[in-house]
């Protein structure tokens, strides 16, 4: 029976213990079929087209491309990256918001997102997991210095650094996933000494994630992030104040109005990282914090699973009943084991503390800094204005790109981790 359980566990972790939630092999740099050159050429020019207020016009002139020529999973993912960037550029890249996406985007994007089991918007997967390339073949991708993005809204180093820091964190998290598997096996074998050693290594790995996250400050200026990049990450959910009271309509171009094609979707958010949720699940930490705008229903963190690729979402669902570490530690009288578990929880809390400090610097404080657009460095657009309206609110404080009341939500999540200590 134990061998059967171990085999099931190995099947669950297969692949994830080698590449984590990054795709197998490097993301596709370009769709090679010439049919999709119109997409790739537009994505190459995206920063300039946004800057010169031409992006909507160029998208409106695109043909409505079929998805029939997307053959491999890397091709579907690359197409998802492009469509996510074009969709958000179309919505936010002008003087007024667009609440209707033209069929040049809507039709292929809905098909692509359905194939990948994702919503048709820019997600964490499309912005980071499938949107990087190493400086050189074989480069260590746990070091953000060795990474570049393939597609960008702004073309700035600041945006690139923001994205590749997340890629490096995901790459470093691969080792933690294999430790999760081994720790679950140690519990099944009733091996407290092995579990203690694994939890100590797990705590060290979490500390390394925090050190990588702190490198964000090296090349990402808060004013550039807040005023130039962040507006394009916003979704269509809870954005009535910005001119999207009904969300965004995905027009299929056949003249038929479909009420169900009005979608309200969250924007790209690191809460959509399957790695971060897996860390909580493994340590037995359950978050009940909502998004600050609801009193019942799934928590915001649970909602964010809908923005993960289908296989990642199913991995988290399958991991949850296997997570046996916390109950084993709670029932144990082994103080060294409890200390090791508490050390891991404390390192996860430190990671979340670092995130809160970063949000304070890049959003709370940056909201009070002048927009570089006013210095002639970039074009002011509606997304920039709406982000200021959204974020600086005397009553609710700050809103995240996913629609959360940001600081209270993050603190509640951090405190839930702190409370998990034995």
DSSP, collapsed to helix, strand or coil, labels residue 371 as: coil
How many Å apart are CA 114 and CA 107, to the nearest integer? 11
Burial of 57 per CB tally in 10 Å (0-12, 13-18, 19+): exposed
Residue 407 is classified by DSSP as: H
For residue 275, CA distances in Å to 20, 38, 352 come to: 8, 34, 13
How many Å apart are CA 269 and CA 403, to the nearest integer? 10
How many Å apart are CA 252 and CA 374, to the nearest integer? 38
Ligand-binding annotation for 355, yes or no, is yes
Torsion of the alpha carbons at 321, 324, 325 and 326, rounded to the nearest 10 = 80
Angle value at C-alpha 127, between 287 and 261, nearest 5 degrees: 80
Strands 147-149 and 132-134 come out as: antiparallel
Instruction: Compute the Cα dihedral for 19, 24, 26, 28 and give only its sign.
Output: negative
Packing angle between helix 174-188 and helix 192-213, nearest 10 degrees? 160
| Beta-bridge partner residues of 248 | 263
Instruction: Compute the Cα dihedral for 358, 361, 367, 369 and give only its sign.
Output: negative
Contact 41, 62 (CB under 8 A): no
How many Å apart are CA 144 and CA 301, to the nearest integer? 26
Torsion of the alpha carbons at 74, 78, 79 and 85, rounded to the nearest 10 = 160
Helices (H) and strands (E) in the chain, counts: 20, 5
How many Å apart are CA 265 and CA 344, to the nearest integer? 34
Q: Any residues with CB less than 8 A from the CB of 180 and at least 6 apart, and which?
A: 13, 202, 278, 282, 319
Residue 132 is classified by DSSP as: E
Binding residues are 355
Known binding-site residues for heme b equal: 355
């Amino acid at each position: 029976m134990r061998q059967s359980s171990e085999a099931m566990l190995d099947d669950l972790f297969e692949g994830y213990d080698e590449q984590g939630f990054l795709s197998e092999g490097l993301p596709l740099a370009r769709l090679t079929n010439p049919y999709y050159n119109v997409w790739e050429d537009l994505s190459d020019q995206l920063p300039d087209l946004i800057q010169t207020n031409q992006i909507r016009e160029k998208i409106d002139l695109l043909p409505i491309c079929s998805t029939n020529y997307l053959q491999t999973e890397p091709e579907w993912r690359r197409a998802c990256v492009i469509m996510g960037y074009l969709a958000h550029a179309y919505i936010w890249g002008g003087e007024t918001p667009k609440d209707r996406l033209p069929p040049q985007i809507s039709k292929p994007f809905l098909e692509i997102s359905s194939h990948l089991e994702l919503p048709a918007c820019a997600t964490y997967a499309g912005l980071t997991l499938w949107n990087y390339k190493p400086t050189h073949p074989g480069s260590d991708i746990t070091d953000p210095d060795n990474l570049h993005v393939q597609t960008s809204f702004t073309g700035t180093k600041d945006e690139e650094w923001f994205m590749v820091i997340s890629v490096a964190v995901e790459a470093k998290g691969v080792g933690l996933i294999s430790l999760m598997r081994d720790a679950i096996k140690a519990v099944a074998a009733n091996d407290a000494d092995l579990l203690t050693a694994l939890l100590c290594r797990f705590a060290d790995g979490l500390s390394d994630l925090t050190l990588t996250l702190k490198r964000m400050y090296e090349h990402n200026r808060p004013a550039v992030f807040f005023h130039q990049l962040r507006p394009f990450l916003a979704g269509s959910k809870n954005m009535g104040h910005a001119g999207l009271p009904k969300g965004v309509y995905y027009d299929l171009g056949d003249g038929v109005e479909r009420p169900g094609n009005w979608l309200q979707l969250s924007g790209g958010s690191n809460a959509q990282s399957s790695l971060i949720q897996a860390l909580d699940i493994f340590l037995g930490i359950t978050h009940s914090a909502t998004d600050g705008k609801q009193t019942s229903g799934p928590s915001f963190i649970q909602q964010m699973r809908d923005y993960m690729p289908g296989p990642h979402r199913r991995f988290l669902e399958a991991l949850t009943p296997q997570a046996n570490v916390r109950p084993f530690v709670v029932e144990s009288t082994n103080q060294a084991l409890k200390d090791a578990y508490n050390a891991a929880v404390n390192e996860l809390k430190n990671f979340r503390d670092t995130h809160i400090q970063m949000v304070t610097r890049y959003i709370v404080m940056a909201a009070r800094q002048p927009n570089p657009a006013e210095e002639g460095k970039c074009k002011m657009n509606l997304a920039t204005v709406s982000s200021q309206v959204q974020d600086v609110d005397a009553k609710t404080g700050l809103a995240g790109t996913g629609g959360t009341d940001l600081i209270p939500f993050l603190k509640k999540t951090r405190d839930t981790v702190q409370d998990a200590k034995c």
